[in-house]
């Protein structure tokens, strides 16, 4: 399920995608307007089907994570950190599986 929420400190709107077990698997960037945040969710739904839009990266501590990019190359959001390649691949598969989920607006 997608959740839309607003940061108390920056007042920007964000989204996160949760797996069926409630674990956060993907988080979007901050948006000034809620409508733009909702467009970000639609961009995840559109682009997650294409494996080539996922980019694997490595943090300084050696853990890996992935970003999802739109067709124009702009990063839509990123995953949590993973210790193993199998966990990372499972995370990508989970985003692809769960991106059609409903959206819950926590700002309403």
Give, for all 108 residues of the chain, the pLDDT tens digit: 999 999 999 999 999 999 989 999 999 999 999 999 999 999 999 999 999 999 999 999 999 999 999 999 999 999 999 999 999 999 999 999 999 999 999 997
Using CA atoms, how far apart are residues 3 and 9, in angstroms rounded to an integer?
18
Domain housing 93: 2-105
pLDDT of residue 108: 76
- Specify whether the backbone of 26 is left (phi greater than 0), alpha (psi in -120 to 50) or beta: beta
| Model pLDDT, residue 104 | 95
Residue 3's pLDDT is 97
Structurally, how many domains does the chain consist of? 1
CATH number, residue 14:
2.30.29.80
């Amino acid at each position: 399920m997608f959740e839309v929420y607003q940061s108390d400190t920056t007042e920007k709107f964000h989204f996160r995608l949760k797996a069926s077990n409630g674990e956060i698997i993907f988080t979007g960037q901050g948006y000034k307007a809620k409508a733009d945040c909702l467009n970000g969710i639609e961009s995840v739904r559109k682009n997650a089907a294409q494996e080539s839009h996922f980019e694997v990266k490595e943090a300084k501590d050696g853990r890996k994570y992935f970003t999802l990019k739109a067709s124009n190359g702009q990063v839509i959001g990123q995953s949590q950190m993973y210790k193993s390649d199998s966990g990372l691949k499972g995370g990508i598969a989970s985003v692809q599986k769960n991106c059609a989920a409903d959206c819950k607006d926590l700002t309403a």
